A and B are shown apart, each in its own frame.
Chain A
């Protein structure tokens, strides 16, 4: 019970938050300005997720080897590498750095 209650609470809260837009707005359309804002939500959210994932709470998780790996993946993708291959390049770069440093 000590674990189940928090798990159920977070699960139900997540369902409610995912459904909050339709539940609150129904079939009412967003005003044009809000549509323009929502059109930029995806890139903003991604940039925030990358930053938060790399930095962690109060930037204590920042790890240069991880940053290099993510950077290599980004460069590979910019040079037209397929998405999966670019990520593999990034992972391999970080793994190799850590192997040499071990």
Chain B
């Protein structure tokens, strides 16, 4: 649970912004709250909120679903570490969240599932609570910007990334590759697609180099 406290704080600020934006958009109280409680996906919720007001429902749903397509890749990566039957595993995988995926990663392609769930629970609580506070208090976008709230989310992800890349030289290369792919794709496609494309950076793991050199590199 302690592992989810840091990301939870960042998620609370993000949820505050989501609640405030939903309030301004006239979504009422019930829809954003139920969406946060059941959907538990900041990127998809923000995408739906912003695209629904400017386009058709089908286009908005498609955009929100595409931005979450990374969960397919993450779910496949997680599967070997899950226990039980197909449905039981799929239920456990509902604890997937970006920060929890990283916190639960043991560094060898395996994941600590109790840790994944333990990290997601406080994040879920912060996400739902933050949405409620945002809906009720409705802080202005100007105020959130003035206090630097927009730094919270990327800064927390940077903290997690720094811990991850310390694990191996390959992780550094893969992260840089992922960032470069996302950066290039942002010019030509949506953020959701850019994020999905960035996961191709992990394919560097499929390149077989000199095992001795790799081992030495990963120990350094």
Chain A residues with CB under 8 Å of chain B are 2-7, 9-11, 13-15, 17-27, 29-30, 33-59, 63, 65-66, 69-70, 73-74, 77-78, 83-84, 86-87, 90-95, 98-99, 102
| Complex Cα spacing A34 to B203, Å | 9
Complex contact B71–A46 (CB within 8 A): no
Interface string of B140-182 (1 = CB under 8 A from A): 0000011111111111111111101101001110111111011
> B158 — which chain A residues lie within 8 A by C-beta?
46, 50, 70, 73-74, 77
Whether, in the assembled complex, B136 has its beta carbon less than 8 Å from a beta carbon of chain A, the answer is no
> A48 — which chain B residues lie within 8 A by C-beta?
178-179, 181-182, 194-195, 197-199, 201
Number of A-B contacts (CB under 8 A): 299
Closest CB in chain B relative to A55 CB, distance in Å: 5
Interface residues on B, range: 35 or more
14 new A-B contacts, CB < 8 A, other than A10-B35, A46-B175, A95-B147, are A2-B57, A6-B64, A18-B90, A20-B76, A21-B78, A36-B109, A36-B206, A39-B105, A41-B101, A46-B158, A47-B176, A52-B186, A66-B148, A95-B148
Complex contact A35–B71 (CB within 8 A): no
> A3 — which chain B residues lie within 8 A by C-beta?
27, 31, 52
